[in-house]
């Protein structure tokens, strides 16, 4: 199964950029995409499940994250807008997975998105709380379904390399949380769109899973900047993590 994630927001402001984004997504033809910060009016011919459309955008309310694939099914798990997440079952032939697509709060969340901040919280405390809530959702999914769980999206924190845009305390907390779930970040060593940095858009799952292949979607296409994030994909056999 090919699983991909990409943050689209910064590059979706012109028709040329949106067209290039759509073309890149179609060419990759991943079995499932976790797309974050979708631009207003994003459309796809494939099935899509999105988080509540309450994120303030330039032309109306938008979703933080969407799961896109040919066979995406709703789960009996209603997530509030403040969770910055959506979950779905994805079927691909004999392979079936539960996908949890998410965004984690960034360093400037208290000024950029004060509606996500509880009274008195610091930026790190918002990150800590939302990470804890998302991990609790995933632990519930692990207990409730006998299927592999994929956690993917914009974690706003790299696991290795320079800390630009992140913080050591956030990195250690994220590493600890992944380990407690038995997860690894399958593309954690991949390069960010910004030279010298590592990926913050991660695709995570069973740490024992063998990654058969992986790659990036470049954030520049024919001279047009189509995102300030690279996209990432991994090929994994999710039915046989050993």
Name the pLDDT band for 158 (thresholds 50, 70, 90).
very high
Lowest mean pLDDT among 12-21, 62-71, 147-156, 157-166: 12-21
- Which CA distances in Å does 29 have to 11, 35, 53, 62? 20, 13, 25, 24
Residue 11, pLDDT above cutoff 80: no
Q: Residue 48: beta bridge partners?
A: 68
Q: In the prediction, which pLDDT does 95 show?
A: 82
The DSSP 8-state label assigned to residue 61 in this structure reads E
Over residues 174-188, mean pLDDT: 98
Residue 13, pLDDT above cutoff 70: no
Q: In the prediction, which pLDDT does 33 show?
A: 97
* 188-212 tens-digit pLDDT: 999 999 999 999 999 999 999 999 9
Q: In the prediction, which pLDDT does 222 show?
A: 80
d(CA 158, CA 160): 6
The residues near 225 (Cβ < 8 Å, ≥ 6 apart) are: 10, 11, 17, 219
- Of 179, 200, 164, 196, nearest to 36 by C-alpha is 200
Which pTM value belongs to this model? 0.94
- Please, what are the domains in the chain? 2-236 (3.60.10.10)
* 95-152 tens-digit pLDDT: 889 999 999 999 999 999 999 999 999 999 999 999 999 999 999 999 999 899 999 9
Residue 4, pLDDT above cutoff 70: yes
* 24-64 tens-digit pLDDT: 898 998 999 999 998 777 788 899 999 988 876 655 578 89
Residue 114's CB: how many other CB atoms inside 10 A?
9
Concatenating the DSSP letter of every residue in 20-53 gives HHHHHHHHH--SEEEEESPPTT---SSEEEE--S
DSSP strand E in the chain: where?
2-7, 32-36, 47-50, 55-57, 60-62, 65-69, 72-74, 85-92, 95-103, 149-154, 183-185, 201-206, 211-217, 220-221, 224-225, 231-236
Q: In the prediction, which pLDDT does 242 show?
A: 43
d(CA 157, CA 163): 8
Over residues 72-85, mean pLDDT: 94
């Amino acid at each position: 199964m090919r699983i991909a994630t990409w943050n689209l927001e910064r590059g979706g402001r012109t028709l040329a950029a949106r067209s290039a984004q759509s073309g890149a997504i179609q060419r990759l033809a991943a079995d499932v995409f976790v797309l974050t910060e979708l631009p207003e009016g994003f459309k796809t011919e494939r099935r899509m499940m999105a988080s509540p459309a309450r994120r303030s955008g330039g032309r109306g309310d938008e979703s933080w994250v969407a799961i896109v694939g040919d066979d995406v099914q709703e789960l009996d798990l209603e997530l509030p807008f403040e969770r910055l997440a959506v979950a779905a079952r994805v079927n691909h032939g004999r392979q079936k997975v539960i996908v949890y697509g998410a965004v984690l709060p960034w360093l400037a969340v208290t000024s950029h998105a004060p509606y996500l901040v509880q009274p008195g919280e610091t930026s790190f405390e918002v990150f800590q709380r939302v990470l804890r809530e998302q991990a609790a959702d995933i632990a519930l999914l692990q207990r409730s379904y006998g299927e592999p769980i994929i956690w993917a999206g914009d974690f706003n924190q790299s696991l290795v390399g320079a800390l630009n845009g992140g913080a050591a305390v956030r990195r250690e907390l994220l590493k600890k949380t992944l380990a407690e779930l038995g997860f690894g970040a399958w593309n954690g060593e991949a390069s960010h769109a910004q030279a010298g940095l590592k990926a913050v858009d991660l695709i995570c799952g069973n740490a024992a899973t063998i990654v058969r292949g992986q790659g990036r979607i470049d954030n520049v296409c024919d001279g047009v900047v189509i995102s300030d994030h690279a996209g990432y994909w991994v090929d994994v056999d999710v039915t046989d993590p050993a």
